[in-house]
Amino acid sequence: MISHTNLFITLFFTLMFMSCSLESELPEQVTKTSDDSQDLASISNNVITEKLPTETQLPSLSNIVEKVNPAVVSISTKSLTRGFFYNSMDSGAGSGIIVKENGFIVTNYHVIKNASEIKVHLPNGQSYTSKIIGIDYISDLAVLKINASNLSTAKFANTETLRVGDWVLTIGNALALKGNPTVTLGIVSGLDRTITTSSNQQFYNLIQTDAAINSGNSGGPLINLAGEVVGINHAIIRQAEGVGFAISSSAATPIIDSLIQYGRVIRPLMGMSGFDLSPATANELGLKLTEGVIVTNLTPDGPSYKAGLQIGDVMISIDNNPTPDVATWLNILWSYRVGDKITVQYSRQNKILTAIVTLIERTQ
């Protein structure tokens, strides 16, 4: 009996001791959990209240617009349409960019095409009747002249550094609305684009943007955040929203200079036409090449014909500069002058051949 009593007393004190030990440890664990929660809340508050870096915030664009706006003009046109019973006078609208202080203005050729009267309206409200200095159907550019001086001009940027994702703005006479020009904002969506018009004319190396280019914006500037012209608004795809195109300033500048100096653009000609060689076409024709320009037409007694090229040949390069497609070919070709001799490498029945072609002047 005594042994049972001693056992009970021993067990009782053991349990009491363990209970005290647990109670002494629990507050420490709870305290740690409470401290961790407080730290997390503090961190959370810091994250929520911390301001984003100013570099990620888009600045106001008003200063940029005010910088370029004096060099942007509105253009209104009238053209006579002759009918069977009566004639009608149609009106049109577009935009332009002042490129010389003494009144030279660049716009799109299609803005002033067939116009019998062209009016240029400056931002200060003054209007002038303009004359056409020169047009270039291939690039869809035209240069006008008004009798004015000391005009504000726009600065054209080198677009070699332009990147997809860069912010751009358009300024122009959208929808021929009265008042100040319309400004829209977007990004560079793509570079070196090629489009084909309803008249089957192709335009190469265009800048694609989602900045709205509405009717009347044609001929106006596409500008960067430095207030420099990176493109001349050219066209929109009416079947799709947010798809507009501009002629790059780097491509436009020599054309504008040539139009001002000569009234036309002097381009070299090889006397041939072609289309891109696709892998599917190469496979169908049994060619080992996968890219190049297939010769589809030769001008009789033209430079390429005289040099020995034939329809079906695939042009590979000009002076060792690859010509994987028509756009690249024309870019390379138009970097030469009339009278230059170029070495053309081409493939005929999977044999690599060369020819010396003397370039002649292209006529509109």
* Rg of the chain, C-alpha, whole Å: 35
Q: What local confidence, expressed as pLDDT, does residue 56 receive? A: 59
Q: What local confidence, expressed as pLDDT, does residue 303 receive? A: 96
Q: What local confidence, expressed as pLDDT, does residue 102 receive? A: 97
Section 294-308 average pLDDT: 95
Place of tokens 């904002």: 185
pLDDT interval class at 82 (50, 70, 90): confident
Give the span between the Cα atoms of 287 and 293, in whole angstroms.
Answer: 13
**Would the pLDDT of 40 be above 60?**
no
Catalytic residue, from 76, 130, 218, 248: name it: 218
Contact predicate 294/312, CB 8 Å: yes
Among the residue ranges 46-55, 61-70, 189-198, 312-321, the one predicted with the least confidence is 46-55
pLDDT in tens, 147-159: 999 999 999 999 9
Of 32-36, 47-51, 86-90, 347-351, highest mean pLDDT = 347-351
Q: Choose between 55 and 103: higher pLDDT.
A: 103
Q: What local confidence, expressed as pLDDT, does residue 71 receive? A: 97
Catalytic residue, from 95, 110, 136, 347: name it: 110
Give the span between the Cα atoms of 110 and 96, in whole angstroms.
Answer: 12
Q: What local confidence, expressed as pLDDT, does residue 81 receive? A: 76
pLDDT in tens, 95-149: 999 999 999 999 999 999 999 999 999 999 899 999 999 999 999 999 999 999 9
pLDDT interval class at 252 (50, 70, 90): very high
Section 174-179 average pLDDT: 64
**Would the pLDDT of 49 be above 60?**
no
pLDDT in tens, 278-297: 888 888 888 889 899 999 99
Instruction: Name 236's bridge partners.
Output: 244
Can 140 be counted among the known catalytic residues? Answer: yes
Can 110 be counted among the known catalytic residues? Answer: yes
Give the span between the Cα atoms of 19 and 304, in whole angstroms.
Answer: 104
Please report the sign of the dihedral spanned by the C-alpha atoms of residue 195, residue 331, residue 322, residue 362.
positive
Tokens, residue 147: 């009798």
Give the span between the Cα atoms of 3 and 13, in whole angstroms.
Answer: 16
Q: What local confidence, expressed as pLDDT, does residue 58 receive? A: 60
pLDDT in tens, 214-242: 888 899 999 999 999 999 999 777 666 77
Please report the sign of the dihedral spanned by the C-alpha atoms of residue 255, residue 259, residue 262, residue 268.
positive
**Would the pLDDT of 257 be above 70?**
yes
Give the span between the Cα atoms of 7 and 17, in whole angstroms.
Answer: 16
Nearest CA to 77 out of 47, 102, 108 is that of 108
Give the span between the Cα atoms of 165 and 162, in whole angstroms.
Answer: 9
Domain architecture of the chain: domains with CATH: 69-145 (2.40.10.10), 159-262 (2.40.10.10), 268-361 (2.30.42.10)
Section 60-69 average pLDDT: 92
Section 338-359 average pLDDT: 95
Share of the chain above pLDDT 90, in %: 61
Q: Choose between 61 and 177: higher pLDDT.
A: 61
Nearest CA to 195 out of 156, 167, 234 is that of 234
Q: What local confidence, expressed as pLDDT, does residue 33 receive? A: 38
Q: What local confidence, expressed as pLDDT, does residue 55 receive? A: 57
